[in-house]
């Protein structure tokens, strides 16, 4: 299988920063993969993808895209990669329809092909009713869908998306994951994205890279990484914040919000722990096997 990205020993230190934003990142991404990048705030994810699209010079290391060093030819990345940054003002004063048409046209399609591409994208991303709306007047979520559609215009071989589901309601987040999977299946597009939605992204992620403090601390298929915490169950409990339950002393919890704890347990002790906690004193509880979010918490907390 063809290697799309070959990232070798990459380091980025911003001027004036004591520690590097990322260090010694070595990673290969294969053609047709859906690769997710997870990590806490400031872990170096955006810096890494900006290096991958040649918008950020690296301090050391190199990046090959389809076997060619991305710094040798400034057109190499734009020719193959559609990139959606976290924030962008780039849609100017165009209507939704114009933004899609001109992007497809600029990417080499004839006017007739670009019109067809515009209609296909309007339908695929379910934004047909916005076709004549001016992009600056769209809501945050509508803009996000338009930016995703613009990034995918002309079907580039690789999509790199920095938090594709930010600003979206649950229904549209679902739409995004489904459309990305569809694009990957139909065109064999390699899709690389950063997300904080570990649980939802698990639906489509084939391989994941977990970043912590500038380092890539784990890379693998979610099912393989799960083996490292395989014997663990995830117990989520909900309780009145002013009356926290008494947890057996050998267990620790992660509090995602007041009155909600996440506890990783050995399978064997799940039922006894629930007994100790007195279920009737809890507002609610959920017990399930490890998710991608647990893998992430496991590696980031190490
Ligand atoms: N232009 C810059 N100049 C100086 N430091 C920067 C710059 N951009 C990012 N950094 C620093 O580099 C580190 C990594 O930032 P980066 O944006 O890559 O993290 P991230 O994982 O994408 O975070 P988030 O999830 O919050 O978006 C942080 O410490 C950040 O403060």
Instruction: From 196, 220, 244, give the residue that closes a domain.
Output: 220
Of the residues 198, 220, 242, the one at which a domain ends: 220
Q: Which ligand 1 atom is nearest residue 43's CA?
A: 21
Look at residues 220, 239, 261 and tell me which one is the last residue of a structural domain.
220
Are 120 and 257 within one domain?
Answer: no
Q: Please state whether beta strands 190-194 and 158-162 pair in parallel, antiparallel, or not at all (unpaired).
A: parallel
Instruction: Give tens-digit pLDDT for 65-101.
Output: 999 999 999 999 999 999 999 887 666 789 999 999 9
The answer on 243 and 145 residing in a single domain is: no
* Angstrom distances, CA of residue 209 to CA of 5, 140, 146: 14, 28, 27
* Across 252-276, average pLDDT: 86
Print the domain residue range for 150.
3-220
Kindly report the average pLDDT of the chain as a whole number: 91
Ligand 1 pocket, residue 21 CB under 6 Å: yes
What CATH number did the domain enclosing 273 receive? 3.30.70.250
Indicate if 49 and 151 belong to the same structural domain.
yes
Which residues in 79-113 are b (16+ Cβ under 10 Å) and which e?
ebbbbbbeeeeebeebbbbbbbbbbbbebebeeee
Question: For the chain, how many structural domains are there in total?
Answer: 2
Nearest residue (CA) to ligand 1, atom 10: 21
Answer whether 42 contacts ligand 1 (Cβ < 6 A): yes
Cβ atoms of 264 and 229 closer than 8 Å: yes
* Residue 19 sits in the same domain as residue 149: yes
The rounded distance, in Å, linking the Cα atoms of 18 and 33 is: 35
Any ligand 1 atom below 6 A from CB of 39:
yes
pLDDT at residue 123, as a whole number: 97
Best probe residue, ligand 1, of 19, 38, 47, 87 (max atoms within 8 Å of C-beta) = 47
Please return the burial class of 176, using the count of CB atoms within 10 Å of its CB with bins 0-12, 13-18 and 19+.
buried
| Distance from Cα 45 to the centre of ligand 1, integer Å | 8
Q: What is d(CA 86, CA 72) in angstroms, rounded to the nearest whole number?
A: 26
Same domain? For 34 and 144 the reply is yes
pLDDT for the residue 9:
96
Assess whether 231 and 251 both reside in one domain: yes
Q: Which two tokens stand for residue 84?
A: 């959606």
Does the C-beta of 216 come closer than 6 Å to ligand 1? no
- Nearest-atom number in ligand 1 for the CA of 214 is 14
At 250 the pLDDT is 85
Verify that 58 and 131 share a domain, yes or no: yes
Please work out whether the CB of residue 188 comes within 6 Å of at least one atom of ligand 1.
Answer: no
CA 21 to ligand 1 center in whole angstroms: 6
- Residue pLDDT, tens place only, 97-148: 999 999 999 989 999 999 999 999 999 999 999 999 998 889 999 999 999 9
Same domain? For 187 and 106 the reply is yes
Ligand 1 centroid–CA 47 distance in Å is 6
Shared domain check, 157 and 98: yes
């Amino acid at each position: 299988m063809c290697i799309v990205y070959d990232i070798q020993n990459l380091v980025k230190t911003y001027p004036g920063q004591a520690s590097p934003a990322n260090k010694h990142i070595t990673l290969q991404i294969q053609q047709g993969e859906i690769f997710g990048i997870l990590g806490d705030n400031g872990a170096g994810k955006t810096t890494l993808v900006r290096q991958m699209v040649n918008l950020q010079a690296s301090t050391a290391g190199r990046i090959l895209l389809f076997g060619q060093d991305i710094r040798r030819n400034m057109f190499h990345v734009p020719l193959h990669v559609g990139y959606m940054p976290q924030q962008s003002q780039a849609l100017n004063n165009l209507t939704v329809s114009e933004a899609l048409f001109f992007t497809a046209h600029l990417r080499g399609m004839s006017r007739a092909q670009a019109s067809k591409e515009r209609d296909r994208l309007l339908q695929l991303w379910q934004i047909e009713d916005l076709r004549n709306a001016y992009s600056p007047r769209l809501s945050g979520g509508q803009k996000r869908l338009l930016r995703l559609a613009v990034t995918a215009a002309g079907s580039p071989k690789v999509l790199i998306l920095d938090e594709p589901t930010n600003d979206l309601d649950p229904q549209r987040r679902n739409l995004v994951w489904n459309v990305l999977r569809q694009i990957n299946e139909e065109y064999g597009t390699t899709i690389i994205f950063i997300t904080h939605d570990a649980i939802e992204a698990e639906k489509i992620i084939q391989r994941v890279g977990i970043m912590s403090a500038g380092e890539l601390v784990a890379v693998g298929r979610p099912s393989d990484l799960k083996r490292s915490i395989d014997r663990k169950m995830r117990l989520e409990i909900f309780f009145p914040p002013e009356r926290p339950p008494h947890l057996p002393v050998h267990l620790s919890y992660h509090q995602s919000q007041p009155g909600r704890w996440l506890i990783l347990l050995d399978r064997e002790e799940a039922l006894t722990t629930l007994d100790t906690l007195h279920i009737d004193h809890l507002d609610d509880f959920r017990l399930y096997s490890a998710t991608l979010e647990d893998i992430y918490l496991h590696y980031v907390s190490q």
